[in-house]
Structure 1
Amino acid sequence: MHIVLSGYFGFDNVGDEAILLSMITSLRKLQPEVELTVLSNNPAHTSSTYGVKAINRWKLKEISSILKRADGLISGGGSLLQDQTGMKTIPYYCAIMYLAKYHKKPVFVYAQGMGPINHSISQMITRKTLNKVDQITLRDEASRQLLVDIGVKKPMSIVPDPVIGLNPTDFRSSWLDYQAFEAGFVAVSVRDWPSEVDFKQKIADSLSRLAQAGHQIVFIPMHDEHDEKASFQMAQMVPEKTLVAPGNLTIEEKIAIIGQADLLIGMRLHSLIFAAIQTTPFIAISYDPKIDAFAAIANQPNIGHVERDDWDGKQLFEQAQTMLQARESIEAALRDQITVLHEQAQHTAQLALDLFNGK
Structure 2
Amino acid sequence: MKLVISGYYGFNNIGDEAILASMIQSLREIQSDIEIVVLSNNPEFTKSTYRVEAVNRWNLKAIIKALKESDGLISGGGSLLQDQTGWKSVPYYSGIMYLAKLLGKPVYMYAQGVGPVDRLLNKWIVKIVLNKINRITVRDEESKQLLERLKIKQNISIVPDPVMGFTSENLNSDWMKEQDFEKPVVTVSVRDWKGLEDFKIKVAAALDTLVDEEDVEIAFLPMHGSHDYETSLQVAELMQKHSKIAPYDASIEEKIAIINYSEFLFGMRLHSLIFAGVVGTPFLALSYDPKIESYSNLTLQPVAGHVEKDDLNDLSNVLLKNYRSREELLDLMRGTTEEMKMTAKETANLAISIISSSNKSFLKSKAN
1:226 is aligned to 227
Q: For residue 227 of structure 1, give the secondary structure of its aligned residue in structure 2.
A: helix
Q: Could you tell me how far apart the structure 2 residues matched to 1:57 and 1:104 are?
A: 20
Question: How much does 1:311 deviate?
Answer: 2.5
2:120 is aligned to 120
Measured against aligned partners, the alpha-carbon deviations of 1:66-108 in whole angstroms (never above 9, x if no partner) come to 1111011000000101122222211111111111111111100
Q: Could you tell me how far apart the structure 1 residues matched to 2:346 and 2:196 are?
A: 42
Q: For residue 54 of structure 1, give the secondary structure of its aligned residue in structure 2.
A: strand
Question: How much does 1:169 deviate?
Answer: 5.2
1:304 is aligned to 305
Question: How much does 1:57 deviate?
Answer: 0.4
Question: How much does 1:336 deviate?
Answer: 3.2
Q: Could you tell me how far apart the structure 2 residues matched to 1:318 and 1:237 are?
A: 18
Residues 167-178 of structure 1 mapped to structure 2, 5 A cutoff: 167-168=167-168, 170-178=170-178
Does structure 2 conserve the Cα–Cα contact (< 8 Å) formed by 1:168 and 1:277?
Answer: no
Measured against aligned partners, the alpha-carbon deviations of 1:129-169 in whole angstroms (never above 9, x if no partner) come to 00000000001111111111122111101011111111245
Q: For residue 12 of structure 1, give the secondary structure of its aligned residue in structure 2.
A: coil
Question: How much does 1:335 deviate?
Answer: 2.6
Letter in 2 for 1:39: L
Q: For residue 357 of structure 1, give the secondary structure of its aligned residue in structure 2.
A: helix
Q: Could you tell me how far apart the structure 2 residues matched to 1:190 and 1:169 are?
A: 27
Measured against aligned partners, the alpha-carbon deviations of 1:326-356 in whole angstroms (never above 9, x if no partner) come to 3334323323321100111111001001012
Residues 120-139 of structure 1 mapped to structure 2, 5 A cutoff: 120-139=120-139
1:239 is aligned to 240
The yes-or-no answer on 1:267 pairing with 2:268 is yes
Residues 206-217 of structure 1 mapped to structure 2, 5 A cutoff: 206-213=206-213, 214-217=215-218
Q: Could you tell me how far apart the structure 2 residues matched to 1:196 and 1:61 are?
A: 40
1:352 is aligned to 351
Q: Could you tell me how far apart the structure 2 residues matched to 1:86 and 1:302 are?
A: 25
2:255 is aligned to 254
Q: Could you tell me how far apart the structure 1 residues matched to 2:262 and 2:251 are?
A: 17
Letter in 2 for 1:349: A
1:192 is aligned to 192
Measured against aligned partners, the alpha-carbon deviations of 1:32-66 in whole angstroms (never above 9, x if no partner) come to 11110000000000000011111100111111111
Q: For residue 358 of structure 1, give the secondary structure of its aligned residue in structure 2.
A: helix
Q: Could you tell me how far apart the structure 1 residues matched to 2:199 and 2:53 are?
A: 42
Does structure 2 conserve the Cα–Cα contact (< 8 Å) formed by 1:168 and 1:278?
Answer: no
Letter in 2 for 1:323: N
Residues 71-90 of structure 1 mapped to structure 2, 5 A cutoff: 71-90=71-90
- TM-score (norm: length of structure 1): 0.96
2:323 is aligned to 324
2:334 is aligned to 335
Measured against aligned partners, the alpha-carbon deviations of 1:152-199 in whole angstroms (never above 9, x if no partner) come to 111101011111111245311111111111111100000001266711
The yes-or-no answer on 1:64 pairing with 2:61 is no
Q: For residue 297 of structure 1, give the secondary structure of its aligned residue in structure 2.
A: helix
Does structure 2 conserve the Cα–Cα contact (< 8 Å) formed by 1:168 and 1:255?
Answer: no
Question: How much does 1:6 deviate?
Answer: 0.2
Count, aligned residues: 357
Does structure 2 conserve the Cα–Cα contact (< 8 Å) formed by 1:71 and 1:356?
Answer: yes
Return 5+ residue gaps in structure 1 as ranges.
none
Question: How much does 1:115 deviate?
Answer: 1.0
The yes-or-no answer on 1:20 pairing with 2:20 is yes
Alignment root-mean-square deviation, CA: 1.4
Does structure 2 conserve the Cα–Cα contact (< 8 Å) formed by 1:195 and 1:307?
Answer: no
1:141 is aligned to 141
Letter in 1 for 2:43: P
Letter in 2 for 1:267: M
- Percentage of matched positions with identical amino acids: 49
